[in-house]
């Protein structure tokens, strides 16, 4: 049967606002969060409660569709397949959330044949909503949950004709991620130094804001030129990926030469839409890895 992507988008937006109210009314603390792989990989009761709300609502609205969520993921068991699948991070930016830094979101992706087909990313602290539907463009809305007239802006903001320049004039987001040991972490640290010193000058600016989904949305909006991370998961990127593609941006792989990447590759390089310079900037960035590849 045909899938009504507009209906899926509307249902996900309604859920995002409901989840947003839960997130805003929670009173988390860094001290009371549980840890997963290490002390920086944290989960709160709110992450779990939001995922439960989302998964139970989606299974009653769309009983035949699959669900992949960060907090119920089981390694080796949960898989992203070709089936219509909701891919959900209940709170992306959990460190920010527990510290009250207002840069966290709920990330609701929907894939068909593993292609990101609907993306809804909502930051309840700033009341900013990003949405995208495959083939229909992507949008950013401020004061999104208010009943008053809404400002819905097509992405990228200001149109897509701005050229991309060199790394030395680019605003780049990178994240350390939650894995803080091992060869990939060492490689990232070497690469961060090379990127910062690239082109005999400096990268225009590094940002590490703590939410993969919001990073990708900022790239889609054209507020960041690129975002690089190795180690995050499909639920961090699925929703943003749709929003990015619909804004003319592209998701490349995090390793040199990976012009194509997959949802589950865990190595991503998002680049904003531009009339020219995308390929050149990607190559300049990859060169900073100096032939090294993340496992």
Least separation in angstroms between residue 211's CB and ligand IPD is: 5
- Residue 87, classed as helix, strand or coil, is strand
177 contributes a contact to ligand IPD by CB under 6 A: yes
Residue among 71, 236, 246, 284 flagged as catalytic = 236
C-alpha distance from residue 181 to each of 103, 176, 177, 269, 286 (Å) = 25, 10, 11, 21, 22
Q: Which of 11, 47, 92, 175 is catalytic?
A: 92
Told to check if 108 binds ligand IPD by CB under 6 A, we report no
Does 231 bind ligand IPD (CB under 6 A)? Our answer is yes
Q: Residues touching ligand IPD: how many (CB under 6 A)?
A: 16
Residues 6 or more apart in contact with residue 154 via CB below 8 angstroms:
137, 138, 139
Q: Which of 11, 89, 225, 284 is labelled catalytic?
A: 89
Binder to ligand IPD among 55, 141, 198, 211 (CB under 6 A)?
211
**Site membership for ligand IPD, residue 170 (CB under 6 A):** no
- Report yes or no: 232 and 270 within 8 Å, Cβ to Cβ: no
| Binding of ligand IPD by 175 (CB under 6 A) | yes
**Nearest distance from C-beta of residue 37 to ligand IPD, angstroms:** 10
Q: How far apart are CA 199 and CA 59, in angstroms?
A: 51
Site string for ligand IPD, 49-88 (x = CB under 6 A): ---------------------x------------------
* Binding piece for ligand IPD, criterion CB under 6 A, among 140-148, 152-160, 175-183, 253-261: 175-183
Length of the chain: 295
Q: Using the rule CB under 6 A, is 123 a contact of ligand IPD? A: no
| 225 is an active site residue | no
* Cβ atoms within 10 Å, residue 144: 23
Residue with the shortest CB distance to ligand IPD: 175
Neighbour count for residue 136 (Cβ, 10 Å):
13
Q: Which one, 179 or 262, has the nearer CB to ligand IPD?
A: 179
> Is position 94 an interface residue for ligand IPD (rule: CB under 6 A)?
yes
Binding residues, as ranges, are 70, 89, 91-92, 236
Smallest gap from Cβ 267 to ligand IPD, in A, equals 11
What φ, ψ does residue 29 adopt, rounded to 5°? -140, 150
Is 81 part of the annotated catalytic residue set? no
State yes or no: residue 224 binds ligand IPD (CB under 6 A).
Answer: no
State the residue for tokens 């804004």. 247
Mark whether 11 is an active-site residue.
Answer: no
Q: DSSP H helical segments within the chain, as ranges?
A: 5-25, 45-61, 94-99, 182-196, 212-221, 234-246, 278-287
CA dist 92 to 41, 84, 168, 285, Å? 12, 22, 29, 25
User: Please, what is the minimum distance in Å from the beta carbon of residue 107 to ligand IPD?
Assistant: 8
d(CA 130, CA 265): 24
126: CB partners within 8 A, 6+ apart: 102, 142
Shortest distance (Å) from residue 87 CB to ligand IPD = 13
Tell me if 236 sits within 8 A of 107, measured CB to CB. Answer: yes
- Kindly list the residues in this chain that would bind ligand IPD in the complex (CB under 6 A): 70, 89, 91-94, 175, 177-178, 210-212, 229, 231-232, 236
Residues catalogued as catalytic:
70, 89, 91-92, 94, 236
């Amino acid at each position: 049967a045909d899938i009504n992507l507009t209906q899926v988008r509307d249902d996900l937006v309604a859920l995002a606002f409901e989840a947003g109210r839960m997130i805003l009314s929670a009173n988390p603390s860094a001290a009371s969060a549980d840890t997963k792989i290490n002390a920086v990989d944290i989960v709160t009761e709110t992450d779990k409660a939001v995922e439960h709300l989302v998964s139970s609502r989606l299974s009653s609205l769309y009983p035949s569709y699959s669900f992949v969520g960060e907090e119920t993921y089981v390694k080796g068991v949960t898989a992203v397949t070709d089936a219509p699948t909701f891919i959900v991070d209940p709170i992306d930016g959990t460190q920010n959330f527990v510290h009250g830094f207002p840069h966290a979101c709920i990330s609701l992706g929907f894939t068909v044949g593993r292609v990101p087909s609907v993306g809804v990313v909502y930051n309840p602290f700033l009341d900013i909503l990003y949405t995208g539907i495959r083939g229909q463009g992507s949008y950013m809305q401020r004061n999104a949950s208010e009943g008053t007239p809404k400002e819905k802006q097509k992405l990228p903001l200001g149109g897509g004709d701005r050229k991309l320049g060199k790394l030395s004039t680019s605003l780049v987001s990178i994240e350390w991620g939650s894995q803080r040991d091992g060869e990939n972490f060492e490689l990232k640290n070497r690469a961060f130094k090379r990127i910062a010193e690239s082109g005999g000058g400096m990268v225009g600016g590094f940002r590490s804001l703590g939410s993969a989904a919001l990073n990708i949305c900022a790239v889609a909006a054209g507020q960041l030129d690129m975002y690089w991370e190795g180690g995050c998961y499909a639920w961090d990127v699925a929703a943003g990926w749709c929003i990015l593609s619909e804004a003319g941006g592209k998701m490349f792989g995090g390793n040199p030469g990976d012009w194509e990447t997959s949802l589950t590759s865990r190595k991503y390089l998002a680049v904003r839409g531009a009339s020219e310079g995308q390929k050149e900037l990607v190559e300049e960035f990859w060169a900073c890895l100096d032939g090294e590849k993340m496992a």
